[in-house]
Amino acid sequence: MAGRRRVVVLVVAAALLVAVASAGASGKSARFELLRLAPAASLADLARMDRERMAFISSRGRRRAAETASAFAMPLSSGAYTGTGQYFVRFRVGTPAQPFLLVADTGSDLTWVKCHRAASASPRNASSLPAPAPASPRRTFRPDKSRTWAPIPCSSATCRESLPFSLAACATPANPCGYDYRYKDGSAARGTVGVDSATIALSGRAARKAKLRGVVLGCTTSYNGQSFLASDGVLSLGYSNISFASRAASRFGGRFSYCLVDHLAPRNATSYLTFGPNPAFSSRRPSEGTASCKPAPAPTPAPAGAPGARQTPLVLDHRTRPFYAVTVKGVSVAGELLKIPRAVWDVEQGGGAILDSGTSLTVLAKPAYRAVVAALSKRLAGLPRVTMDPFDYCYNWTSPSGSDVATPLPMLAVHFAGSARLEPPAKSYVIDAAPGVKCIGLQEGPWPGLSVIGNILQQEHLWEYDLKNRRLRFKRSRCMH
């Protein structure tokens, strides 16, 4: 087939040279006779060639659509039904696409999935993991089944300089780059890293899909950690040049956003993780080129200056990477600003505050924690205390009649730079810990040390991380569409 095509091309090219010379001399137009020198192909061959050509045309169309789309979104849901405090996102990677359920983590810079095959070279020079579990065969990535998977060589500059979690061992230059990724809670993942394509669904009149290429992806062959038992891996939303968030945001407006439903919401309650401008913060409706996993049109957008939409500078400091830091000015309870040393919120003095979607309970450095729980517990002093780990302050919320006690809860507010305030619903800081029992849902952290605004305190708010302009926007929302 290839030989016959070359004959046709050569004949047409020769005719073109002769005709152009003749036309140039006479000033007239040129006319070519198309010659079919190859034997006629069968209808089956023609149909097959047409399918190949249409696949090529379609792929070019999907590429252009991905390049011009302004945003895309992925379904996001609470993992409480699995016994974890994480939020899960549905993610499709590889060619053909393989579906996974990953932890959405703003504190991670490596996206990884549980991998079917063992790494071609076992990572060395890594301290031992406590009883690592092999990747579950139930839903695992098959790199050998993906046409777009490409391992990163351990001898490459990317492995040695751009991946801070990579291992030093490199038996041969061609060996894949190994990693031993450790989390602050003691969990870990080990495997090899490569690049692949993620599939995103485009909204509009017709169902279309596009590829986000060059996604750094870890192929995890062993791991430990409770949250990883219910998920297939981690989607990295941290601030890093290799994270999925940075890769996707750079293509879609330099920003991403998420809305966390109530962590105790029903299993089918779904919100979205969006890359690109979020219509809830814009007065413009999304165009036909907007990419989304939603089957229905986006809800009517609210103006950026609408009541409840607030913003504060996003602190992208190398000392807190890959976490996103914010400048906290103080915390108030029932309208009273608490006496907390300024150093607690100052990175320069060993403090600071970050937002972390991968941490459930909010952790406050010791001086802040003690001030906040003292103010809250003072207003709950009339309720019977009960003991329940891991909380310090829990209360029996059931009256003698068996109904919940009608005790008003004081308003807690976190004050950010720029006069922005986070005023979470009371259930986000006095949480339901057991039937008839509520606890102050905060944890004490070390001092000096960072304070962490966890996902329960973030719930029922829409958060937009504008990396391009270093700005954090947020507003109250039920998060369900």
One domain, residues 233 and 97? yes
As a whole number, the mean pLDDT across the chain is 79
One domain, residues 269 and 315? no
> Does some domain include residue 2?
no
Per-residue pLDDT, averaged over 141-154, amounts to 95
* pLDDT band per the 50, 70, 90 thresholds, residue 278: confident
The CB density around residue 65, as the number of other CB atoms within 10 Å, is 18
* pLDDT band per the 50, 70, 90 thresholds, residue 44: low
One domain, residues 89 and 211? yes
Of 8-12, 268-272, 340-344, 399-403, the poorest mean pLDDT is in: 8-12
Please write the tens of the pLDDT for every residue from 218-228: 999 999 887 78
Q: Say how far apart CA 364 and CA 370 lie, in whole Å.
A: 9
Number of domains present in the structure of the chain: 2
Question: Is residue 5 classed as helix, strand or coil in its secondary structure?
Answer: helix
Per-residue pLDDT, averaged over 431-446, amounts to 94
> Does some domain include residue 11?
no
pLDDT of the residue at 185 = 81
Identify the residue with better confidence: 34 or 427: 427
> Does some domain include residue 205?
yes
**Which residue from 275, 236, 256 is spatially nearest to 314, judged by alpha carbons?**
256
One domain, residues 352 and 233? no
Please write the tens of the pLDDT for every residue from 281-312: 864 443 333 333 343 333 333 333 344 689 99
Give me the catalytic one of 105, 196, 262, 466: 105
Per-residue pLDDT, averaged over 147-155, amounts to 95
pLDDT at residue 114 tops 70: yes
Of 41-55, 93-107, 112-126, 353-367, the poorest mean pLDDT is in: 41-55
Contact between 295 and 79 (Cβ < 8 Å): no
**Which residue from 164, 163, 166, 157 is spatially nearest to 126, judged by alpha carbons?**
166
pLDDT at residue 15 tops 70: no
> Does some domain include residue 426?
yes
pLDDT at residue 455 tops 70: yes
One domain, residues 79 and 141? yes
Give me the catalytic one of 109, 232, 262, 356: 356
> Does some domain include residue 67?
no
One domain, residues 94 and 194? yes
* pLDDT band per the 50, 70, 90 thresholds, residue 85: confident
* pLDDT band per the 50, 70, 90 thresholds, residue 143: very high
Per-residue pLDDT, averaged over 206-223, amounts to 86
pLDDT of the residue at 168 = 84
pLDDT at residue 137 tops 80: no
Strand partners, 409: none
For this structure, is 356 an active site residue? yes
> What residue numbers bound the domain in which 382 lies?
310-476
Identify the residue with better confidence: 208 or 128: 208
One domain, residues 271 and 314? no
Residue 297: asked if its preceding bond is cis (omega within 30°), the reply is no
pLDDT of the residue at 107 = 94
> Does some domain include residue 410?
yes
One domain, residues 224 and 269? yes
- Look up residue 361 and give its amino acid: L
One domain, residues 336 and 257? no
The CB density around residue 250, as the number of other CB atoms within 10 Å, is 13
pLDDT at residue 324 tops 60: yes
**Greatest CA separation found in the chain?**
107
Q: Is 371 left (phi over 0), alpha (psi -120 to 50) or beta?
A: alpha
Q: Any idea what DSSP says for residue 300?
A: P
pLDDT of the residue at 280 = 83
pTM of the model: 0.78
> Does some domain include residue 163?
yes
pLDDT of the residue at 210 = 78
Please write the tens of the pLDDT for every residue from 171-201: 888 899 999 999 888 889 999 999 999 998 6
pLDDT at residue 390 tops 70: yes
Q: Say how far apart CA 314 and CA 465 lie, in whole Å.
A: 8
> Does some domain include residue 64?
no
How long is the chain?
481
Q: Say how far apart CA 468 and CA 463 lie, in whole Å.
A: 15
One domain, residues 89 and 166? yes
One domain, residues 171 and 270? yes
pLDDT of the residue at 481 = 59
One domain, residues 338 and 468? yes
- Residue 349: which CATH number? 2.40.70.10
Contact between 298 and 292 (Cβ < 8 Å): yes
Question: 219, 248, 275 — which closes off a domain?
Answer: 275
Beta strand 177-182 with 188-202 is: antiparallel
DSSP secondary structure, 317-336, as one string: -TTTTTSEEE-EEEEEETTE
